[in-house]
Amino acid sequence: MEFSIVLSLGVIMVASTIVALIARKLKQQLIFAYLITGIIIGPIGVGLVTNTQDILVLSELGVAFLLFAIGIESDFSKLLKMKNILFFGALVQVLITTLAVFALMQYVGLGFIESAYIGLILAFSSTVITVKFLSDKNQISTLHGRLIIGFAVCQDLIAVLALPLLARPETIFEISLFGKFLLGIIALFALAVLLNKLVLPKLLKNHAQNQELFFLIVISTCLGFMYVANLLNFSLAVGAFIGGLTLSSLPYNVEALSRIRGLRDFFTIIFFASLGMQLSLAFGNFPLLAAIAMFLVIYLLNPLIYFLITYFAGYGSRTALTVGLALEQASEFSFILAAQALALGQMSQNVYSLAILVIVVSMATTPYVLENTSRIYDFLNSGFKKLFPKYSSKRFNRKLKELENLPKEELENHIVILGSGVFGNSIAAVLRNYGTVVTVDHNPSNVLANIKRKLYSIYGSAESPEVWKKANYEKARLIVSTMPDTSSAISVIQKIKKANKEVVIFARAHNFDEALKMYNAGVESVILPQVLGSNECLKQIQTFLATGKTISSKLKNEYINYLREKTATEKKFI
């Protein structure tokens, strides 16, 4: 007896939980666990879930919610500053990859439209996987993070154009139909602007305190845009993404994202498990060399194109390689394209099975590649220097030079602050009175703000050998770490202590376990802001309970004015 969709969902969630727990125990990526789950319970595994078509409907909804969340998180004001490289870079990469794969598929005997589909399927990269990884590593606001997300979002917009055109390829050159398509896109964005400016701010403000109504408004925004997109013959994912953009610039975007996080995670599991369930070994007589070439396009051609675009744009080899490696997988839209082609009879089952295999394998391996980006860079860089010892890359680092302000003389007996957020900047403002202070941060906005404040500042990861050399950690008299990623902070601290046992290090930790690890790494003093803050809060509460008195109105007003001044200053610099 075939399982109903409810029972199938139960099987997916229980199996995903078991496999995810095993993966976590083995220190493996959860996305990989969900894909493996789909393979195990799907048709080529033990066959616990056989009604894959019903699950595919839910997985499409999963893609929509994922892109809705990405839309909410997207800061287009910062991405627009790099619009030229992002749009033209993505367009060039998609064109090169599509044309190269199209020519190869034509050579092996595939039809025109099927070759075009395969070209586009291999051309697009996953916004979901890259954003998830960057978010987990707290790298969304880094320079490479903005480039990666920008390229991926531009690819998504190109995919939005490609989906309806490929569905009816005979109408591509019909001006009237293309005009309708263009008007549909304009209508969706016009609706987004209208709601963003006139409706949602007041609606969310009036009902922010009511959790149920707030949740309903956010979900209705997503589903409403999906409905309108469907009426205009666009995919649900396109509508959901634009719906997310509608909320992205509002002050309630963080709260909106937190309210839908559970739904997003639920559908994420279904999406990746459904991809695993669609794997099939029925490739027919598809040429082996062509299949290998498809993987080479994903793992070599696409990263190489993005590396060259980013490198020649002046962002340096390390940033360029990070961008290239992050975009080396197929996309959620690749899955949608393949499903559309199969449903419309534009792609054979054999080619579809191979396309799904490429999508699944590339998505599963991406987190492992990204985890080892620094090692890959060091290996390739050392090999390149041996082959070309006289090569100079200064002219291709010009964008990074704009994010650097250092004294002309060599740094020595100075103070280095790793991380320049609110905590780090407050310390830097005082310590600059005691000597030369250098801040290191991988958020370009923070670095530019510090340069405007006439602080010595360097953009980059604190672990980077290039940053290490410029900041001259070994000759510093004091290191202050306010890095949010504790594991990275401990790694840097251990290396600094190994190179210079005499240097004094102060650090910030988030909890007692992290603080203990930092002391074991050689830190002289560890600050726990949350503990200090909670102690002060508790002290004020106890005073109120004991005396009935709170902070005086005068002090409260003075503090509010201070906060307003600091907020205005931050906005001025950023």
How many Cβ atoms are within 10 Å of 296's Cβ, its own excluded?
A: 12
Over range 83-107, report the average pLDDT.
90
- pLDDT tens-digit series, residues 357-394: 888 889 888 888 888 888 888 888 888 878 877 776 77
Amino acid residing at 467: V
Whether 282 has a pLDDT exceeding 80, the answer reads no
Over range 37-52, report the average pLDDT.
82
Mean pLDDT of the chain: 83
- pLDDT tens-digit series, residues 249-266: 788 877 888 888 888 888
Over range 549-553, report the average pLDDT.
70
Domain holding 522, by residue range, is 409-527
Residue 416: inside a domain, yes or no?
A: yes
Q: Are 14 and 156 members of one domain? A: yes
Cβ–Cβ under 8 Å, residues 70 and 45 = no
Whether 573 has a pLDDT exceeding 50, the answer reads no
Q: What is the pLDDT of residue 75?
A: 64
Count structural domains, the chain.
2
Cβ–Cβ under 8 Å, residues 141 and 443 = yes
List the CATH number of the domain containing 148: 1.20.1530.20
Residue 568: inside a domain, yes or no?
A: no
DSSP H/E element including 187: helix 175-194
Q: Are 424 and 522 members of one domain? A: yes
Distance CA 375, CA 316 (A): 17
**Contacts with 439 (C-beta within 8 Å, 6 or more apart), sequence order:** 416, 417, 419, 420, 424, 425, 428, 446, 447, 450, 455, 456, 457, 458
342: left (phi over 0), alpha (psi -120 to 50) or beta: alpha
Distance CA 231, CA 218 (A): 20
Residue with tokens 């499903």: 339
Burial of 559 (0-12, 13-18, 19+ CB in 10 A): exposed
Instruction: Give the tokens for residue 200.
Output: 């949602």
Residue 309: inside a domain, yes or no?
A: yes
Instruction: Give the tokens for residue 345.
Output: 């009879």
Q: What is the pLDDT of residue 501?
A: 84
Over range 497-507, report the average pLDDT.
88
Which of 55-69, 221-235, 442-456 has the weakest average pLDDT? 55-69
Residue 194: inside a domain, yes or no?
A: yes
Q: Are 100 and 182 members of one domain? A: yes
Q: Which residue has the higher pLDDT, 225 or 7?
A: 225
Q: Which residue has the higher pLDDT, 445 or 121?
A: 121
Instruction: Give the tokens for residue 230.
Output: 């469907």
How are beta strands 525-527 and 504-508 bridged, if at all?
parallel
How many Cβ atoms are within 10 Å of 562's Cβ, its own excluded?
A: 10
Whether 444 has a pLDDT exceeding 80, the answer reads yes
Q: Which residue has the higher pLDDT, 173 or 265?
A: 265
List the CATH number of the domain containing 484: 3.40.50.720
Q: What is the pLDDT of residue 94?
A: 93
| Share of residues in the chain with pLDDT > 90 (%) | 14
Whether 351 has a pLDDT exceeding 50, the answer reads yes
Over range 559-566, report the average pLDDT.
66
Alpha carbon separation from 347 to 97, 225, 290, 368, 447 (Å, rounded): 19, 29, 16, 31, 50
- The residue among 310, 319, 151, 166 whose CA lies nearest residue 235 is 166
Of 341, 359, 380, which marks where a domain is finished? 380
Whether 574 has a pLDDT exceeding 50, the answer reads no
How many Cβ atoms are within 10 Å of 49's Cβ, its own excluded?
A: 27
Distance CA 73, CA 257 (A): 8
Q: Are 84 and 127 members of one domain? A: yes
Q: What is the pLDDT of residue 57?
A: 72
Q: What is the pLDDT of residue 558?
A: 67
Q: Are 335 and 438 members of one domain? A: no
Alpha carbon separation from 325 to 150, 272, 296 (Å, rounded): 15, 21, 13
Partners of 526 in beta bridges = 507
Instruction: Give the tokens for residue 572.
Output: 């001025």
Of 502, 527, 552, which marks where a domain is finished? 527
Q: Are 341 and 236 members of one domain? A: yes
Backbone angles phi, psi at 481, to 5 degrees: -105, 120
| Torsion angle in degrees (nearest 10) through CA of 238, 243, 245, 248 | -150
Distance CA 65, CA 267 (A): 7
Q: Starting at the edge strand that comes first in sequence, how are the strands of the sheet with 415-418 ordered?
A: 404-405, 456-459, 437-441, 415-418, 478-481, 504-508, 525-527
Distance CA 233, CA 284 (A): 33
Residue 427: inside a domain, yes or no?
A: yes
Q: Are 370 and 456 members of one domain? A: no
- Give the model's confidence band at 289: pLDDT under 50 very low, under 70 low, under 90 confident, else very high: confident
**HSE-CB of 341 using CA atoms within 13 angstroms:** 29
Partners of 458 in beta bridges = 404, 440
Residue 566: inside a domain, yes or no?
A: no
Over range 101-116, report the average pLDDT.
89
Over range 439-456, report the average pLDDT.
86
| DSSP, residue by residue, 361-377 | HHHHHHHHHHHTHHHHH
Distance CA 310, CA 149 (A): 13
Q: Are 238 and 347 members of one domain? A: yes
Instruction: Give the tokens for residue 436.
Output: 């030369």
Residue 556: inside a domain, yes or no?
A: no
Whether 2 has a pLDDT exceeding 70, the answer reads no
Q: Are 178 and 311 members of one domain? A: yes
Distance CA 492, CA 340 (A): 48
Over range 483-511, report the average pLDDT.
86
Amino acid residing at 42: G
Alpha carbon separation from 444 to 114, 242, 293, 439, 459 (Å, rounded): 43, 26, 38, 12, 6
**Can you tell me whether residue 438 is helix, strand or coil?**
strand
Cβ–Cβ under 8 Å, residues 208 and 214 = yes
Q: Are 189 and 291 members of one domain? A: yes
Distance CA 258, CA 72 (A): 11
Distance CA 73, CA 245 (A): 8
Q: Which residue has the higher pLDDT, 171 or 104?
A: 104
Q: What is the pLDDT of residue 553?
A: 67
- The residue among 349, 13, 219, 18 whose CA lies nearest residue 5 is 13
Distance CA 49, CA 279 (A): 13
Q: Are 230 and 308 members of one domain? A: yes
Residue with tokens 């202050």: 480
- Give the model's confidence band at 1: pLDDT under 50 very low, under 70 low, under 90 confident, else very high: very low
**Can you tell me whether residue 138 is helix, strand or coil?**
coil
Q: Are 284 and 429 members of one domain? A: no
Distance CA 373, CA 320 (A): 11
Distance CA 442, CA 446 (A): 8
Residue 386: inside a domain, yes or no?
A: no
Of 512, 527, 542, which marks where a domain is finished? 527
